[in-house]
Amino acid sequence: MSTEYRFVNNQRKDEAGKLSKILAGIKEHYVSGLGKAKEALPLMEGAIEDIEFALRGAILNCSPEYVADEDVIGRSSGRDFHWRADNGFRGMEDVRQFQKDHPDYHVEDEYGTEIALKDLRAIVKK
- List beta partners, residue 14: none
Q: What is the pLDDT of residue 32?
A: 94
Q: Which domain holds residue 107?
A: 2-10+67-125
Residue 65, phi then psi, degrees to nearest 5: -95, 135
Number of domains in the chain: 2
Residues 53 and 87 in one domain: no
Q: What is the pLDDT of residue 68?
A: 86
Residues 82 and 49 in one domain: no
Please report, rounded to a whole number, the percentage of residues in the chain having pLDDT higher than 70: 99
What radius of gyration, in Å, describes the C-alpha atoms of the chain? 21
Residues 79 and 118 in one domain: yes
Tell if the pTM clears 0.85, that is, is over it. no
